[in-house]
Amino acid sequence: TSAFDRANEAVTFLRSSLPEGLQAPKVAIVCGSGLGGLADTVHAEGRAEYDYASIPHFPRPTVAGHAGKLVFGLLGQKIPAVLMVGRAHYYEGHSMDQVTFPIRVFKQLGVDTVVLTNAAGGLNSDYCVGDIVMLNDHIFLAGLAGVHPLRGPNEEDFGVRFPPLSDAYDLDLRRQVHQAWKQVISAESTRKLHEGVYAFVGGPTYETRAESRMLRMMGADVVGMSTVPEIVVARHCGLRVLAFSLVTNNAVLAPVPRGDEKLLQGKDAGELNAIIEEGKAGHEEVLEAGRNAALDMQKLVLQSLVNVFEQV
């Protein structure tokens, strides 16, 4: 069956079980690694939660740090929202169609804006771990090679055959975010908000040093294994997009140590270990950085949405 029909099946299920009087969501938020805390800010009044397992055709995430539930309710004062806590990734073995299916459900629910958050590796040396990067473009490596959520017959109910993506990252929304950042970040905080380009890699391996250098040379500022397929499908069906990466580690750009170098001469065990350790990006490091910076990310997303939806 078409994604359109499957999305409508999921919407029929949700509409039949959502509490009476709950307003249809206007904004959807996809919470990435370790950023699920945003869902805790949804008002208890009128809140409803659904495990992905209970929603027709929803994929089940399998990565530590990714629960799997949809949370409906009010954000800020009065913004009707739906939040995805945890997401399915291509590297888990889901198809691009499955990974992006929730976006089509949001469209059919009446959502017009989607905010996506993720944890990513920093390629730009101006970035520090814990910084927030608002995406203003992407490099969809898998998509360029044909691993693409819109491959196959076009679903005309959602959008056109050849969608333009040159303005995928809504300029007005980005302006609102810069304004919101000034409102939420404390004067003494060292955390920075950047704008940058996200390179999507299929994963699950972290990039090699040579791959990191290649991505940087191609103009990517952060690298990750999610978000871009969802953005492509969101633009196909006409949703406004806002996306943020939390820099959870610096991708390894240092050249490969050569065996014949005097690199390790005179180094004690601790220094030796540090040299070896700095070459690894571990998942625990991602979650730890995510927890620490999640609060600022949550405040930024919330304030941005208040400025966009409550100032009207």
Ligand X SMILES: Nc1nc2ncn(CCNC(CO)CO)c2c(=O)[nH]1
- Give the residue numbers annotated as catalytic, written as ranges: 33, 66, 89, 91-92, 119, 225-226, 249, 283
Strand 69-75 relative to strand 48-51: parallel, antiparallel, unpaired? antiparallel
Q: How far is the C-alpha of 86 from the C-alpha of 71, rounded, in Å?
A: 11
84 contributes a contact to ligand X by CB under 6 A: no
- Intra-chain end-to-end CA distance of the chain, in Å: 39
Residue nearest to ligand X (CB): 121
71 contributes a contact to ligand X by CB under 6 A: no
Give kind and range of the element (H or E) at residue 13: helix 3-17
246 contributes a contact to ligand X by CB under 6 A: no
The 10 Å Cβ neighbour count of residue 124 is: 19
Sign of torsion over alpha carbons 89, 123, 128, 182: negative
Query: What minimum distance in Å lies between the beta carbon of 132 and ligand X?
Result: 14
Within 187-206, the residues that bind ligand X by CB under 6 A are 206
Q: How far is the C-alpha of 4 from the C-alpha of 105, rounded, in Å?
A: 9
Q: Which is nearer to ligand X, 99 or 184 (CB)?
A: 99
Query: What minimum distance in Å lies between the beta carbon of 226 and ligand X?
Result: 6
Stretch that binds ligand X, among 10-18, 149-157, 187-195, 218-226 (CB under 6 A): 218-226
Selected binder of ligand X within 207, 221, 230, 296 (CB under 6 A)? 207
173 contributes a contact to ligand X by CB under 6 A: no
Q: Which is nearer to ligand X, 34 or 80 (CB)?
A: 34
CA nearest 84: which of 60, 120, 112, 110? Answer: 60
Query: What minimum distance in Å lies between the beta carbon of 115 and ligand X?
Result: 18
281 contributes a contact to ligand X by CB under 6 A: yes
Q: How far is the C-alpha of 287 from the C-alpha of 154, rounded, in Å?
A: 37
Selected binder of ligand X within 119, 184, 228, 241 (CB under 6 A)? 119
Contact of 138 with 225, CB cutoff 8 Å: no
131 contributes a contact to ligand X by CB under 6 A: no
Query: What minimum distance in Å lies between the beta carbon of 123 and ligand X?
Result: 8
The alpha carbon of 55 is separated from its chain's Cα centroid by a whole number of angstroms, namely: 21
Q: Which is nearer to ligand X, 87 or 235 (CB)?
A: 87
Q: How far is the C-alpha of 272 from the C-alpha of 19, rounded, in Å?
A: 59
Peptide bond into 204 cis (omega under 30): yes
Q: Which is nearer to ligand X, 192 or 283 (CB)?
A: 283
Helix (H, G, I), strand (E, B) or coil at 58: coil
Within 248-267, the residues that bind ligand X by CB under 6 A are 248-249, 251
223 contributes a contact to ligand X by CB under 6 A: yes
33 contributes a contact to ligand X by CB under 6 A: yes
283 burial level (CB within 10 Å; 0-12, 13-18, 19+): middle
Q: Which is nearer to ligand X, 131 or 170 (CB)?
A: 131
89 contributes a contact to ligand X by CB under 6 A: yes
The tokens for 157 are: 């109910």
**Which residues are near ligand X by CB under 6 A?**
33, 63, 89, 119-121, 206-207, 223-226, 248-249, 251, 281, 283, 286
